[in-house]
Amino acid sequence: MKQYQLESALLPQGWARECTVTVADDGIITHVDGGGGATTLGSTLTSDMAVASDIAPASDNARAPDLKNSASTLSVERVKGIAIPGMPNAHSHAFQRAMVGNTEYRLSARDSFWTWRQAMYQLANRIEPEELQILATQLFVEMLKAGYTSVAEFHYLHRQKNGALYPGTNGLWEAIDNAAEIAGIGLTFLPTLYQTSDFGGKPLKREQARFAMATDVFLRAIEERLAHQHSQSSTRTGAAFHSLRAVPLDHLREAALQLRGLNAALPVHIHVAEQLREVKSCKQETGRRPIELLLESGLLTPHWCLVHATHATPQELKGIAAAAAIVCVSISTEANLGDGFFDTSRFLKAGGCLCVGSDSQATVSPAEELRWMEYQQRLRKKGRAVLAAAAEPHVGTRLWRDAAQHGAQAIGQPAGAIAVGRRADWLVLDDTHPSMVGATSQTALDHLLFAGADAAIRDVMVAGRWVIRDGRHEVEEQLRGPFAGLMNSFATAG
């Protein structure tokens, strides 16, 4: 057990100064003393925190007896700067880290998501487990340095290069598990069902052979992982359906019901309505738009995360919000691939829950995702502070706190807030960094999002362990050579 004296911290109920947080050996916060409330600033408890209270014990003192019993072994660390909740990254494909910066030129007469996807398939078809582990470790270290403290890996690389299943342990899955452990990031691994190349049950193409998975293999693999999941581990398992074009709706429904039988709170993710062509094909084949189909299925719960939902009608946005399902946007990727605008403003007004992800890893920064979430709206509406709320007028605080809460919910991790019952996942901003100088508690996250203060992320903790200290991760030097070798080999392979 350890105690931290945080000089300034963002708690669910607002900003606090000289806040004492006690963390048990399993990395869970057992006690928070927010400075007696006298120095609490800013917003009040939001409706989102009502969801959070399902996880957190009702009283801040609920686990205080542990503290008393262990008082003699308690060490105290004073933390200078501004502590904020770590951000869950709700959507990632780690292997795509190898493509970053390498597809920003004309691939064909009319470049699009679909031509980019061909380049991505080439990479997917050459990658080996050892290579994936190097890429993912490098990426997860980058995520930690940028403020992501856990990640949902939406993983559809299942088979060997020749299309055969791995005998025994799946090397590609193990590579992700190993990378998360080495980096020290929380992981929600999402084995992803992928069965068809388009709507109408079209068979997979040759370049999609490594993604193929039968429903029974998918369900057994998830059951097996859940059986071996330790309650204290920062590694969790969920499930994903690649998309409605890659999983026929009847297969999806059957698998989703079985997953619910395994664990009703299992996170379930799906790509949906990212591209207009996808929406059009879905409508042609089924008479419905993709989000309409999902809403009609009645399967959506607060444990479902719809990734992108870019091309949603106002009615569909209301439907997602009413089902309390979460939407994960990744504006860096959506912009990079030319997907379109997600109507954040309308979705938030409907009471929708949003989180963020780094997806194709075009850039890896939660501050950037949230900055563009606001900037997209400013550009469209020709106004400022569009996503501020009455209860929280500071855009930075509102977006960061809500995305952290909803991200944790989306990936099924007890994180997303500095609160009792949550894991001690937090960042410390250096308030002496030039980008932060002059910030108050209330404007600290506005500086992080809008004044380029990523560089002020000084220390990062996951599950009560410092994984970034003074901006450095302990394995980053070791990784440099293998990562460079790998990237150069991909470059020369063309």
> Mask of contacts with Zn ion, 289-308, x by CB under 5 A?
--------------------
Q: How far is the CB of 317 from Zn ion (least distance, A)?
A: 20
Pairing between β-strand 148-155 and β-strand 235-237 as defined by DSSP bridges: unpaired
Task: Please identify, using beta-carbon distances, which residue of 43 and 196 lies nearer to Zn ion.
Answer: 196
Segment interacting with Zn ion (CB under 5 A) among 115-123, 186-194, 261-269, 355-363: 355-363
Q: Put the strands of the sheet holding 426-429 in their side by side order.
A: 29-33, 14-23, 2-11, 75-85, 426-429, 457-462, 465-469, 472-473
CA–CA separation, 80 and 83 (whole Å): 9
Q: Which span sits near Zn ion by CB under 5 A: 60-68, 113-121, 223-231, 351-359? A: 351-359
Q: Given the complex with Zn ion, which of 155 and 423 has the nearer CB atom?
A: 155
Give the active site residue among 359, 402, 430, 446.
359
Q: CB nearer to Zn ion: give 306 or 321.
A: 306
Of 142, 153, 292, 359, the one binding Zn ion (CB under 5 A) is 359
Minimum Å distance from CB 168 to Zn ion? 28
Indicate the residue whose CB is closest to Zn ion: 359
Annotation marks residue 250 as catalytic: no
Q: Is 308 annotated in the active site?
A: yes
User: Is 334 near Zn ion (CB under 5 A)?
Assistant: no
Q: Minimum Å distance from CB 330 to Zn ion?
A: 7
Query: Exactly one of 93, 155, 308, 447 is catalytic; which is it?
Result: 308
224-253 positions binding Zn ion, by CB under 5 A: none
Total binding residues for Zn ion by CB under 5 A? 1
User: At closest approach, how far in Å is the CB of 335 from Zn ion?
Assistant: 14
Of 22 and 310, which has the nearer Cβ to Zn ion? Answer: 310
Give least dist CB 72 to Zn ion, A: 49
Closer CB to Zn ion, 28 or 190, in the complex: 190
Residue 81 vs 191, nearer CB to Zn ion: 191
Tokens encoding 414: 């007890």
Q: Contacts with Zn ion in 409-448 (CB under 5 A)?
A: none
Q: Find the part of the chain contacting Zn ion (CB under 5 A) among 321-329, 358-366, 408-416, 436-444.
A: 358-366
Shortest gap between Cβ of 412 and Zn ion (angstroms)? Answer: 18
**Vertex 405 angle, CA 402 and 406, to 5°:** 85
Nearest approach, Cβ of 243 to Zn ion (angstroms)?
Answer: 9
Nearer to Zn ion (CB atom), residue 93 or residue 394: 93
Which residues, including other chains, have CB under 8 Å from residue 67's CB and lie 6 or more apart?
Answer: 1, 22, 30, 31, 74
Stretch that binds Zn ion, among 110-118, 156-164, 238-246, 359-367 (CB under 5 A): 359-367
Binding site for Zn ion (CB under 5 A): 359
Residues that are catalytic: 308, 359
